[in-house]
A and B are shown apart, each in its own frame.
Chain A
Amino acid sequence: MSAAHFLSRAGWRVTVYDSGVVASGATGSADGAVSVASKKPGPLMTLAVAAVRFYEHLAETGVLVDEFISRSTFMIASQSDELDVLESQSAQLEAAGVPVRLLKGQSLAETVGAAAPSALAAVEVQGEGHAVGYRVVERLRRLGGFTIRRHCRIVGLRQSGGSVSGVVTEQGVEPADAVLLAAGLGSMDFLAGSGLIRPRKGQLIVTDRAGRDTPRFPGPLMSCRYLVSKGSHPAGKLPESRSLGLVVDPLRTGQFLIGGSREDRDDKDTADADTVASLLRDAVALSPSLARLRVIRVFAGVRAATRDGMPIVGRVGGADNVWVATGFEGDGICLGPLMGHLCQQMICGRPADQDISALGADRFGLKLADAA
């Protein structure tokens, strides 16, 4: 939807084809963190910094006004063996130009003490933000300028002479001068190769609104274990906690979002009590006041995870007018608008504002499937 927005502003006539409805994939089930804090050091962290700045820019210029809230993320170490992870991630963030503040003793007590009384140390990662994925999509939809075709599955691409000349829908062939595959796991339906992207399920919990007796949360609290679960930090001595990474996020509505899991499976319609109970146990251990709230909803979503943990954004081999943007795993909400913008620049033949060569489809030799 971001690419559609920017392409339509660049003068293209754009149609978004969705096999279901918009925001029905991971976008509709995401936590909304626009955050650098948990990113893997390297190109992904650099791009995330630029992505947060881009959100700020979109909010300032009115595109995403009211949909992006600036705030800090708080990485919390509550066991002594998590202190190393905290320090190392904090140093990496600082190196990437992210303002961080180490909280210990008095400053720790004042900032996160009420919300997480057992924290040993914390790092405040400043200049982060929150944007609800489906609301961003809704804003872009309302701004309009492009057509949305819901429940319109693309069954193939019409190819001729090294280019794609149209998309094949169940209703017939529709001409196209350029195609961007941004269908998450479904993008691979059009590309040769298998096992490149796998589903990674996540489960999230929503509570009811906190009462006045709930202490103030300064921002989302991210347990250092989350970094281990996400694979953005070497596990070191920490036990692999079955890929549950705790983030307790105070929402604008007064509710809390508690997540999440990373599981190599794709049953996105089910949440299981075992995972939910484990997350809630960890959440209450970190923030005992949460025990007074009620769970109103639990849900799951499936992320598209690549083999090397990096998104795939760039031109696809086998045709000169097909691009792909997929494999964002849990970072799609953060990176989405920037990547939409960069895709527009690539499709328009202009140099991209950011170096995304590390995300290129060529690193896997990705080509259009013959049958596409």
Chain B
Amino acid sequence: MSDREVLVIGGGPAGVAAALEMARGGLKVTLCEQGPRLGGAIHRQPDDPSRRVRVPKAQRQRWQALAEALAASPVTVLCRHMFAGVEGSGAVLLEDRASGRIVTRHPAALVLALGGVERATPVPGWQLPGVVTAGGLQMMMKSTGRAPDGDVLLAGSGPLLVAVAAQLTALGKAPVAVLERSTSAVSLRALAGLIRAPAYLWEAAGYLLPLTKAGIRLQRGASVRSIVPAGDRLSVTIVDTIGLEQRLVVDRVALHDGLLPNGNGTTPAPNGPFTVLAGDCREVLGGVAAIADGRLAGLAVLARLGQAAPDLAGAAATLRRERRTQSALNTLFDYSGSDAAHLPDDTVICRCEGRTLGQLRGMLAAGDRVSAREIKLNGRFGMGACQGRFCAEWVAAFVASQRDGQPPQVAEIVGSRWPVKPVPVSAFVDLPPSSPSE
């Protein structure tokens, strides 16, 4: 075995697959996961093994195979180790959440398998307590094995909405309604794409049948127009395809508008190790593709470090097939969100800093063409704790819509600085100086 360490960040399917591939190729691999257990978002393992959310069988089997292979491998697993970024001299920073300290590593290569970023497009009131993302709600259910208290409304677009609705229903807490913004019918092209991947149809059927049986309202072409507090509940105005408004009072609203690759802290650092992205973090293609992509990332590292690498034509073919399937699936959904032209000025855009659409409009109103950097610094968009992870894409798209062409780059708004996520000051205090420079 080579004594050069390679580091994999993210204990989901892409990270585990990458770690296994590199360990098989003779590298010394350390796999870091920020949570208490491996699994990632898709295979999130419960806090209490007896309280488990039902997931499709094929999905469960995929994880079981990975977990068994990992247990039999020499890969070192570090849970509760959060990737904080690559600092200026090239060291990888990890926050060891058990000891509360920053630890540094100097791996020969780094695989980032951080998963995708869940999108939710702005609507008035989405910053209120009680408004969550559907993916976040699903993570909570997978961890605790319990549904949240109170009435839940699911809204937005994407296959995750029905999956979460089915999981809520299975836990005895059927959602009040599921609003899917898209009105597009299943086209022949989409159908052809999906039939080639029947697992998706089975998965969809597995979610939809119980919903139908439970009489859950699945409304297509409907979306949330605004959310306002109603006592300690939320009053949600819903609009349908022909513009009719309706009001629902619920305890929780779970929004979801698809997933994005993760551009936060994933740009290779100037002095950093050879870095490869894997899984949804690189391209949102789902769990099956993540395993194939993880293996390919492992292969890229093996090749780079001069280790013998196996032929992974099968993984590349899987990736191509999943890409076709995802693009067919995407035609069924509408991730565009509310038309910004109709959003009121007080709509919060940056939830970290509480910055509004009116403030963004104000910055663009002058004849002078302000740059993305000025929008960021003076508008404070992307200056909060998430460093623009949740608002940069939307801000860039809005600026582009106000100016013909020449959109600012999302990268100018999203931070490329470490720490990727906030790290306690106390975690740095014990960091030993790397070299005596006094």
Contact = CB atoms under 8 A, between A and B. Distances in A.
Interface of B, secondary structure class, is loop
Interface string A177-220: 00000000000000000000000000000011000000000000
Interface stretch (A82-90, A230-238, A296-304): A296-304
A239 B438 contact: yes
A300 B417 CA distance: 10
Interface of A, secondary structure class, is mixed
A284 B426 contact: yes
B87 interface: yes
A174 interface: no
B368 A295 contact: no
Contacts of B65: none
Contacts of A138: 374, 377-378
Given A21-B374, A284-B429, A294 B91 contact: no
B219 interface: no
A298 B429 contact: no
B425 A207 contact: yes
A298 B428 CA distance: 13
A148 B102 CA distance: 44
Contacts of B205: none
Contacts of A135: 377-378
A59 B438 CA distance: 42
B417 A148 contact: no
A142 B368 CA distance: 9
Nearest to B380: A253
Of the listed residues B93, B271, B422, B434, the one surrounded by the most CB atoms of chain A closer than 10 A to its CB is: B422
A134 B418 contact: no
Contacts of B431: 273-274, 277
B425 A270 contact: no
B144 interface: no
Contacts of B104: 273
B270 interface: yes
A207 B426 CA distance: 12
A357 interface: no
B424 interface: yes
Contacts of B229: none
Contact of B88 (A24, A272, A297): A272
A274 B435 contact: yes
B371 interface: yes
B429 A291 contact: yes
B417 A284 contact: no
Nearest to B385: A296
B415 interface: yes
A232 B104 CA distance: 35
Of the listed residues A28, A240, A274, A299, the one surrounded by the most CB atoms of chain B closer than 10 A to its CB is: A274
Contacts of A299: 417
B266 to A, nearest CB: 16
B89 interface: yes
Contacts of A148: 368
A24 B378 CA distance: 12
Contacts of B424: 291-295
Contact of A293 (B387, B418, B425, B437): B425
B271 A21 contact: no
Given A274-B89, A296-B422, A142 B428 contact: no
A52 B48 CA distance: 61
B371 A21 contact: yes
Contacts, number: 119
Given A28-B377, A277-B433, A299-B417, A208 B270 contact: no
Nearest to B270: A270
A272 B89 CA distance: 6
A135 B371 CA distance: 14
B409 to A, nearest CB: 13
Given A23-B374, A135-B378, A294 B87 contact: no
B382 to A, nearest CB: 11
A241 B438 CA distance: 6
A174 B141 CA distance: 65
Nearest to B272: A270
Interface string B408-426: 0000000101110011111
A144 B368 CA distance: 9
B57 interface: no
B247 interface: no
B62 interface: no
A21 B91 CA distance: 31
Contact of A150 (B88, B371, B422, B423): B371
B118 to A, nearest CB: 21
B217 interface: no
Interface in B374-393: 374, 377-378, 383-385, 387
Given A208-B385, A299-B417, A270 B271 contact: yes
B89 A297 contact: no
A276 B88 CA distance: 10
Contacts of A24: 373
B369 interface: yes
Contacts of B185: none
A267 interface: yes
A273 B417 CA distance: 12
Contact of B425 (A28, A141, A267, A280): A280
A22 interface: yes
Contacts of A21: 371, 373-374
A267 to B, nearest CB: 7
B417 A271 contact: yes
A278 interface: yes
Contacts of A23: 373-374, 377
A292 B426 CA distance: 7
Contact of B419 (A141, A240, A295): A295
A119 to B, nearest CB: 19
A119 B118 CA distance: 47
A300 B416 CA distance: 12
Interface string B263-297: 00000011100000000000000000000000000
A304 to B, nearest CB: 20
A135 B369 CA distance: 17
Contacts of B387: 296-297
23 contacts: A21-B373, A138-B378, A150-B369, A150-B371, A207-B425, A269-B270, A270-B88, A272-B89, A274-B431, A280-B429, A284-B425, A291-B425, A292-B424, A292-B426, A293-B424, A294-B425, A295-B422, A296-B384, A296-B387, A297-B383, A297-B415, A297-B419, A298-B417
Interface of B: 87-89, 91, 93, 102, 104, 269-271, 366, 368-369, 371, 373-374, 377-378, 383-385, 387, 415, 417-419, 422-426, 428-429, 431, 433-435, 437-438
